[in-house]
Amino acid sequence: MATQADNSSPKKEAHKEGASRFRVTVVGSGNWGSVAVKLIASNTLHQSIFHDEVRMWVFEEVLPSGQKLTDTINRTNENVKYLPGIKLGKNVVADPDLENAVKEANMLVFVTPHQFMEGICKRLIGKIKPDAEAISLIKGMEVKKEGPCLISKLITDMLGINCCVLMGANIANEIALEKFSEATVGYRHSKEVAQRWARLVSTSYFLVSPVQDVEGVELCGTLKNVVAIAAGLVDGLDMGNNTKAAIMRIGLREMRALSKLLFSSVKDTTFFESCGVADLITTCLGGRNRRVAEAFARNGGKRSFDELEAELLQGQKLQGVSTAREVYEVLRHRGWQASFPLFTTVHEISIGKLPPSAIVEYSNSSAQ
Ligand SMILES: NC(=O)c1ccc[n+]([C@@H]2O[C@H](COP(=O)([O-])OP(=O)(O)OC[C@H]3O[C@@H](n4cnc5c(N)ncnc54)[C@H](O)[C@@H]3O)[C@@H](O)[C@H]2O)c1
Ligand SMILES: O=P(O)(O)OC[C@H](O)CO
């Protein structure tokens, strides 16, 4: 069942005497981070359980104008670099000081590119409130000696706090324009906590469903980025819709198979939620991973993903190429490469070991 915030009244309900309000900080301010802030800020204003102010940690940058990004956000109420043209909400405060941004929060929303999370968590050890709850909107994982480590687990292990996840068919620019979308909150124990997260982010155009399967939800969001690279390669090779649909189907099979091998608790039904097949479809049709992979194939693999990412995304970050490498490390370590030809081939193409055309030749060996 979708959970929708009651934000029908423009005025905040009366605050119950003695009840303390949840203070929210969003750690991250990229394209999705800024849209998440907009959703949250529209809800904290109207719901008495939340403090009005939403603090947003900004990785400080100096803009071409010479001004700091944080100052510009606070002056214009817009993230002019990562989400231009969209007002975030007057109750949003951008803060370049990470420790200061989190110190009073008891609801922490993590939404940075995954490769920065370990460093961010290190800086936050001992700096957050002991009763804080977290949610990760980050699609990606780390690979440790012991094996893969999902970002929600990294947060829990390093900061000692519970962490839900929110994933879904959520191209940020479309949600910024208030076009209808769905998302899935994955939770481990407490449905009540998951419902509070849903209440924080849901709007009339953004419907959120809680599912008790953190690993399944997070692995869907993480692994679909590798399939999106494959779909972009197919587009760049002008192979047409049937081939792309086949690659998406094979990719979905590999997503499900790897998720269940890594965590036997992962539920089949999770793949039918927004975080599963719906996110796979939207990413393979309109995402950044798809777009950069298309350019990579059109250039015959002669320009690197890093170079194309910098040119096409202007500071936004791809997750699919590094996730393909991380998945490859897991497969190689466990001797599972032969069972995951699409994941393996995406990595080998991205490092120049195979040409872009290998995406079809090699991936279809699992198409049974
Ligand atoms: N953009 C989307 O449509 C979308 C939708 C759903 C989920 N996501 C996921 O959300 C996560 C965040 O993506 P995004 O779109 O908000 O970011 P983004 O790719 O738009 O922006 C990159 C961000 O990284 C920051 N950054 C750069 N160097 C840094 C450093 N050294 N340390 C910390 N931060 C640094 C930049 O300031 C910027 O805020 C990713 O896991 C992504 O897969 C994105
Ligand atoms: O633009 P991408 O490829 O990073 O994908 C964005 C979102 O994950 C889609 O849900």
Grade residue 365 by pLDDT with cuts at 50, 70 and 90. Answer: confident
- Specify binding-site residues for NAD(+): 28-33, 59, 116, 172, 288, 317, 319
Q: Which atom of ligand 2 is nearest to the CA of 279?
A: 10
Grade residue 19 by pLDDT with cuts at 50, 70 and 90. Answer: low
Q: What predicted TM-score, i.e. pTM, was given to this entire model?
A: 0.95
Q: Which residue of the set 224, 244, 267, 353 is catalytic?
A: 224
- Specify binding-site residues for substrate: 139, 288-289
* The predicted structure's pLDDT at residue 15: 56
Q: Which atom of ligand 2 is nearest to the CA of 139?
A: 8
Higher pLDDT, 145 or 336: 336
Helix (H, G, I), strand (E, B) or coil at 122: helix
- Tell me the CATH class for 22-212: alpha beta
Domains 22-212 and 221-366 share a fold: no
At what angle are helices 240-262 and 341-350 packed, to 10 degrees?
A: 110
User: How many whole angstroms from 34 Cα to the centroid of ligand 1?
Assistant: 9
CA 155 to chain centre: 14
Question: Do 236 and 294 contact (CB within 8 A), yes or no?
Answer: yes
For residue 29 and ligand 1, the question of a CB distance below 6 A is answered with yes
Q: Out of 3.40.50.150, 1.10.1060.10, 1.10.101.10, 1.10.1040.10, select the CATH number for domain 221-366.
A: 1.10.1040.10
* The predicted structure's pLDDT at residue 4: 39
Is residue 11 part of the annotated active site? The answer reads no
Q: Which atom of ligand 1 is nearest to the CA of 137?
A: 10
For residue 113 and ligand 1, the question of a CB distance below 6 A is answered with yes
User: How many whole angstroms from 112 Cα to the centroid of ligand 1?
Assistant: 4
Average the pLDDT over 66-90 and give the result: 98
Residue 74 has pLDDT above 80, yes or no: yes
Average the pLDDT over 260-266 and give the result: 97
Question: Do 10 and 93 contact (CB within 8 A), yes or no?
Answer: no
Query: Could you tell me which residues come within 8 angstroms of residue 25 by beta carbon, excluding any fewer than 6 positions away?
Result: 54, 55, 56, 57, 101, 102, 104, 105, 107, 108, 109
Grade residue 267 by pLDDT with cuts at 50, 70 and 90. Answer: very high
- Look at the alpha carbons of 157, 158, 160, 165 in this order and tell me if their dihedral is positive or negative: negative
User: How many whole angstroms from 287 Cα to the centroid of ligand 2?
Assistant: 5
Residue 100 has pLDDT above 90, yes or no: yes
Give the domain ranges of the chain: 22-212, 221-366
Residue 42: both structure tokens together: 């529209």
For residue 33 and ligand 1, the question of a CB distance below 6 A is answered with yes
Q: Which of 225, 248, 280, 281 most suits a substitution to test ligand 2, by most atoms within 8 Å of the C-beta?
A: 225
Q: What is the C-alpha to C-alpha distance for residues 126 and 21, in angstroms, rounded to an integer?
A: 22
User: How many whole angstroms from 334 Cα to the centroid of ligand 1?
Assistant: 30
CA-closest residue to ligand 2 atom 7: 171
